[in-house]
Amino acid sequence: MNFGLGSFTGTHLLYLFTSIWWTLVLSALAFVLGSVGGFGVMLARISHKAWLRWMALVYIECVQGIPLLILLFIVYFGLSVYGYSLPALAAAGIAMMIYVSAYLGDIWRGCVEAMPKPQWEAAECLAFSRWQTLRLVIIPQAVRLSLPPTVGFLVQIIKMTSLASVIGFVELTRAGQIINNSIFQPFLIFAIVGAFYFALCYPLSRWSEAMERKLNVANR
């Protein structure tokens, strides 16, 4: 087994560096679109309308019960059967948006419902509508509470982008596979790929932990 650099060159390393950009692009796309969808899911989950809460719950349960890999296959290969051929980036972005929206919607719903009941009652005394109560009183406080788990989930999103390699999207993991297919040095290549993922995720993990500690101290 070759643990040295061997035929691994600076060109290969540059190719891996370039693929980090596409990993970040897909992560940002999934997080931004998933946040928009997740906000809608959260509003549906706390709605006064029972049918809307039920639909949001069914959506969350279905998405959380399906592996992201299957969603990628459905969007990329399944839609092509009906004549809708999507680029790998678009298919990966849509599949991850659906997946992320279900999880973020559930996380944010829990943060909104964690707000003390007197907050809602005080807003009612001020004759606020439900939307005004959410916008001016509840959501600003819930955002602070939701930051640690949201950033923590962002770390998972970055790592989940590696699954997009199965539909041909060239992000960090796929770039490692392509290089390994040409020079066959799996230990070296995927150790470097793992190091790059660690460099991307570790600062976010530490930031999430720091915010959680700060929040816990502030609530004492």
The string of pLDDT tens digits covering residues 144-154 is 889 889 999 99
**Helix pair 50-64, 88-113: axis angle to 10 deg:** 130
SS3 content of the chain, % helix, strand, coil (to 5): 85, 0, 15
Position 120 pLDDT exceeds 60: yes
Q: Is 138 contained in some domain?
A: yes
Q: How confident is the model at residue 70 (pLDDT cuts 50, 70, 90)?
A: very high
What is the maximum span of the chain, computed from C-alpha positions, in angstroms? 73
The three-state secondary structure class of 4 is coil
Burial class of residue 142 in the structure, from the number of CB atoms within 10 Å of its CB (0-12 exposed, 13-18 middle, 19+ buried): buried
Neighbouring residues of 49: CB distance < 8 A, sequence distance ≥ 6? none
Domain that holds residue 131: 21-170
Looking at residue 140, what is its pLDDT? 86
**Residue 53: φ, ψ to 5°:** -60, -40
Q: Is 115 contained in some domain?
A: yes
Q: Average pLDDT of 125-138?
A: 82
Q: Is 208 contained in some domain?
A: no
Per residue in 192-215, pLDDT (tens digit) is 999 999 999 999 989 888 877 776
For the record, the structure tokens of 149 come out as: 């788990």
Position 4 pLDDT exceeds 80: no
d(CA 148, CA 212): 5
Looking at residue 5, what is its pLDDT? 61
Q: Is 63 contained in some domain?
A: yes
Neighbouring residues of 88: CB distance < 8 A, sequence distance ≥ 6? 76, 164, 167, 168, 169
Q: How far is CA 53 from CA 32, 50, 199, 204, in A?
A: 23, 5, 39, 32
Q: How confident is the model at residue 33 (pLDDT cuts 50, 70, 90)?
A: very high
Per residue in 98-110, pLDDT (tens digit) is 999 999 999 999 9
Q: Is 205 contained in some domain?
A: no
Q: Average pLDDT of 17-37?
A: 95
Q: Is 151 contained in some domain?
A: yes
Q: Is 201 contained in some domain?
A: no
d(CA 114, CA 111): 5
- pTM score: 0.88
Q: How confident is the model at residue 63 (pLDDT cuts 50, 70, 90)?
A: very high
Q: Percentage of residues in the chain with pLDDT exceeding 90?
A: 59
Q: Average pLDDT of 159-183?
A: 92
Q: Is 104 contained in some domain?
A: yes
Neighbours of 7 (CB within 10 A): 13
Domains held by the chain: number: 1
- Domain CATH code at residue 79: 1.10.3720.10
If one compares 5 and 192, the residue with the highest pLDDT of the two is 192
